[in-house]
Amino acid sequence: MRYRDENKVLAIREAAIDMVASDGLENFGINRLAKAAGVSPATIYIYYKDKEDLLTSISIEEGVKMTRATLKGFDPNMSFKEGLWVQWQNRAAFSLDNHKSAEFFEQLRNSTYKDKMLETINDEFRKNMGNFVENAIERGEIERMPLEVYWSVAFAPLYSLIRFHNEGKSLGGRKFKFSEKIMKETFDCVLKGLTK
Amino acid sequence: MRYRDENKVLAIREAAIDMVASDGLENFGINRLAKAAGVSPATIYIYYKDKEDLLTSISIEEGVKMTRATLKGFDPNMSFKEGLWVQWQNRAAFSLDNHKSAEFFEQLRNSTYKDKMLETINDEFRKNMGNFVENAIERGEIERMPLEVYWSVAFAPLYSLIRFHNEGKSLGGRKFKFSEKIMKETFDCVLKGLTK
DNA sequence: AAGATAACTGAGCATTTGCTCATTTAAAAA
DNA sequence: TTTTTAAATGAGCAAATGCTCAGTTATCTT
């Protein structure tokens, strides 16, 4: 029998990410994807059940990739300051190196597909984050607070900065450029707010 | 001559917001909108040039509404703490009372339409925010920092919390419920990080 | 070499899409 | 009342959409 051409799978996935990232989820279509990936529309349906399956599958893959990258070198027993800083650096590096992936992910996160993609990724998050935060609380480094509050204070500012960087222009027409220095300053700000 | 039926304009706008909020921008279509608004497709084109014009126009209107609501009772000469708190309360109240609008806005903000809608709203933002932040810096209440960093630390956590609240489930399957108490705690956290 | 299997294809189907136009309706002006 | 103006309409067009199927191709086993 004939074997799957792995290049085709990769081409489909890469083209999908590119299309959503640059044209937006609302302009994403299977026929156009097939053309962009250099593949027949029918081929896509060998790998994915339908359009929704394609988008959710890819978003989960990318989400897992991103989560893995964010947790590289991270250990839930690290001090709060060190652990959070590792995650900030990893996440920023990943988003800048793979900004198409990051943009794709962000688009899906704000769409009707979010439920299916987030239930997988939140599990991954919860496992690693839960212990880390619990340790930090027990050590008296931070106050006890709902996980959602923690996430909102600890990570939302970073993701916002990354978005400002990736969008061409930002507040007031100027161009905003991310840098190690700015990230560190913002981190200090957030850390100060969180720690006792 | 015949006058415009203002109910039709309102019905179109409300139906558009509802549709995008509940079915997602990627499932928004003119024919379906016409049916939902109880109006002929052709009527929509009396009020809007095309689909893009409709979405950007409505998003700008809603954005202005939201900005106005957020700044109710706000004065750039307030103390930093008081001024920011007023904005947090206003914004949270608006988003919870008008969560369809908020959802609609959030969808457009993460789409290819973002450029056109944000250039108007960022102007409004910049005018009011610039002075306020500058005053706070001169009074020595906060450090000098890029506006993007300020925005990311001061507001991104709040918007994140609102999203957690509006999504059915959040981190780890549990349900997260926003409350005055949680908002105040999060605010204190953010304020502590920002102020000297 | 022949047969078996499954990846792969392009043409194209049914439906939906964004949008238009000939016509009708309502209300002001004559 | 008649004329004039523009709002409002529903049928429907060209194009695009998600998806399928009969047929072809590559690679395995025999």
A47, A67, A82 — which closes off a domain? A47
The answer on A149 and A89 residing in a single domain is yes
Q: What is the pLDDT at residue B172?
A: 67
The answer on B96 and B32 residing in a single domain is no
**CATH number, domain containing residue B171:** 1.10.357.10
Three-class DSSP category at A195: strand
pLDDT tens, A46-90?
999 999 999 999 999 999 999 999 999 999 999 999 999 999 999
pLDDT tens, B11-26?
999 999 999 999 999 9
- Cβ of B171 within 8 Å of Cβ of A24? The answer is no
The answer on B164 and B73 residing in a single domain is yes
Gap from B103 CA to D30 C1', in Å? 62
Domain span at B190: 56-194
Contacts of B112 in chain A (CB under 8 A): 23-24, 26-27
Instruction: For residue B33, give every residue at least 6 positions away whose Cβ sits within 8 Å of its Cβ, in sequence order, or none.
Output: B12, B15, B16, B19, B44
Gap from A157 CA to C25 C1', in Å? 55
Three-class DSSP category at A77: coil
The answer on A67 and A122 residing in a single domain is yes
CB A1 within 7 Å, strand D: yes
- Cβ-based contacts (< 7 Å) between A 12-41 and strand D: 27-32, 40-41
The answer on A21 and A94 residing in a single domain is no
The answer on B106 and B42 residing in a single domain is no
Percent of chain A with pLDDT over 70: 98
Checking if the pLDDT of B69 tops 70, the result is: yes
Number of domains in chain A: 2
B43/B46 Cα distance (integer angstroms): 5
The answer on B2 and B86 residing in a single domain is no
Query: Does residue A182 belong to the interface with chain B, where contact is any CB pair within 8 Å?
Result: yes
Q: What is the pLDDT at residue A24?
A: 97
pLDDT tens, B82-141?
999 999 999 999 999 999 999 999 999 999 999 988 888 878 778 888 899 999 999 999
Least confident residue range of A56-60, B62-66, B137-141, B167-171: B167-171
Q: What are phi and psi of A38, to 5 degrees?
A: 70, 45
A104 within 8 A of A117, measured Cβ to Cβ: no
Q: What are phi and psi of A56, to 5 degrees?
A: -70, -40
**CATH number, domain containing residue A160:** 1.10.357
The answer on A77 and A1 residing in a single domain is no
The answer on B189 and B120 residing in a single domain is yes
B194/B173 Cα distance (integer angstroms): 32
Residue A140 counted as domain residue: yes
The answer on B132 and B173 residing in a single domain is yes
The answer on A99 and A182 residing in a single domain is yes
